């Protein structure tokens, strides 16, 4: 393996292990490469002296250090582009008294730790979503306003699907918001040429079981998502729309034909996160109140379309057909469920009014 390929391999491995730093350390006539995992240094690779020197020189070159200077300590940084993501790395060198350099690569961490499950108002919808997320292939679309918990929902459904079993899950996001060690998380970086479409294309070549796409916002991404769903993967994505039915028209606006949607779409969820009424606060539960735990002051309301209700929606999306009207309780649409939540006293009247979807 040449130096460049080995460097790429090393960073990819380190990233998949969620290593915080890589140490390339000299010993007599060779080098050892260590990964720091959960605070512990673990020996990963043995390199002979020439291989080690070449690898260090290569990293020095990449991070704009003086390659010829081997005695003075140096530091540098670079964003290293791997197949599906780019990694922000900080490098530092130091030499021993025999002018043998050692190099440490610090890999910068991503933001939040994995989020907690948020409570949902109705188990019926949540159970349907869990079953849909277990599908071998197809397309599952989520919609809802900003901060309606779409990413948290998608992550929890996929984690639930894994149940400890090893499956390849790749996420493509802009940016990554939740850190999840069991997923391969990639991030869009337009200036580095990493687009949703491009990342999705390379992801599909890796034959993942599940792909989570942060947002479908252009025709190219919509097309790739459909292609992924048609070729035996489960694609879970979010898309902008004001209600569940709007998801279909939005996909069609992005150039996806109705027959392709009928072939791939297995479910649609429209969601919002509602502040819970608290009897102690006598309103939405306030931050300092201990009646509801901090991350349980809001609950998710889902409208889910799958099976017959999805077929009806797809059927009605074709303008030639007249809408088949089902009774309210059968349709379980967002506004109907919101009314029910309000009637049960879980939310205030203000919340009910604020979250209702206009002219659904
Ligand atoms: Zn309260």
Residue 50 — pLDDT band, cuts 50, 70, 90?
A: very high
Q: What is the pLDDT of residues 321-347, one digit of tens each?
A: 555 566 666 689 999 999 999 999 999
CA of 186 to the centre of ligand 1 (A): 38
Ion ligand 1: residues, CB within 5 A, are 278, 280-281, 285, 289, 291
Read off the pTM: 0.68
Q: What is the pLDDT of residues 242-255, one digit of tens each?
A: 999 999 999 999 99
SS3 for the chain, per residue?
Answer: CCHHHHHHHHHHHHHHCCCCEEEEEEECCEEEEEEEECCEEEEEEEEEHHHHHHHHHHHHHHCCCCCCCCCCCEEEEEEEECCCCEEEEEEEEEECCCCCEEEEEEECCCCECCCCCCCECCHHHHHHHHHHHCCCCEEEEEECCCCCCHHHHHHHHHHHHHCCCCCCEEEEECCCCECCCCCEEEECEHHHCECHHHHHHHHHHCCCCEEEEEEECCHHHHHHHHHHHHCCCEEEEEECCCCHHHHHHHHHHCCCCHHHHHHHEEEEEEEEEEECEECCCCEECCCCCCCCCHHHCEEEEEEEECHHHHHHHHHHHCCCCCCCCCCHHHHCCHHHHHHHHHHCCCCCHHHHHHHCCCCC
- Percentage of residues in the chain having pLDDT higher than 70: 92
pLDDT (average), residues 90-95? 89
CA of 287 to the centre of ligand 1 (A): 8
CA of 281 to the centre of ligand 1 (A): 4
Q: Is the pLDDT of residue 224 over 50?
A: yes
């Amino acid at each position: 393996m040449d130096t460049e390929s080995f460097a790429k391999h090393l960073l990819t491995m380190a990233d998949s292990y969620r290593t915080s730093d890589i140490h390339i350390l000299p010993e007599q006539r060779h080098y050892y490469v260590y990964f720091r995992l959960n605070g512990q240094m673990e020996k990963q690779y043995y390199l002979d002296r020439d291989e080690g020197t070449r690898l260090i020189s290569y990293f020095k070159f990449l991070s704009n250090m003086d390659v010829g200077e081997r005695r003075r300590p140096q530091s540098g940084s670079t964003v290293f582009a791997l197949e599906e993501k780019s990694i922000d790395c900080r490098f530092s060198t130091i030499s021993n008294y025999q002018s043998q350099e050692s190099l440490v690569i610090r890999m910068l961490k991503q933001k939040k730790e994995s989020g907690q499950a948020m409570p949902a108002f109705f188990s019926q919808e949540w159970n349907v979503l869990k079953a849909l997320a277990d599908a071998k292939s197809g397309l599952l679309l989520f919609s809802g306003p900003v901060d309606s918990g779409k990413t948290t929902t998608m992550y929890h459904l996929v984690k639930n699907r894994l149940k400890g079993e090893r499956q390849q899950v790749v996420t493509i996001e802009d940016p990554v918001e939740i850190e999840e060690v069991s997923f391969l998380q990639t991030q869009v970086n337009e200036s580095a040429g990493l687009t949703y479409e491009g990342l999705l294309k390379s992801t599909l070549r890796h034959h993942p079981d599940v792909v989570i796409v942060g947002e479908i916002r252009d025709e190219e991404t919509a097309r790739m998502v459909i292609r992924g769903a048609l070729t035996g993967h489960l694609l879970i994505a979010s898309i902008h729309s004001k209600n569940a039915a709007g998801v279909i028209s939005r996909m069609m606006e992005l150039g996806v034909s109705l027959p392709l949607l009928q072939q791939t779409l297995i479910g649609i969820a429209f969601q919002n996160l509602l502040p819970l009424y608290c009897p102690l606060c006598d309103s939405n539960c306030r931050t300092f109140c201990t009646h509801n735990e901090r991350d349980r002051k809001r609950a998710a309301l889902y409208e889910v379309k799958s099976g017959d209700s999805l077929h009806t929606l797809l059927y009605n999306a074709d303008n030639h057909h007249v809408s088949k009207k089902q009774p309210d309780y059968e349709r379980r649409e967002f506004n109907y469920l919101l009314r029910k939540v309000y009637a049960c006293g879980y939310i205030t009247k203000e919340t009910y009014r604020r979250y209702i979807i206009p002219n659904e």
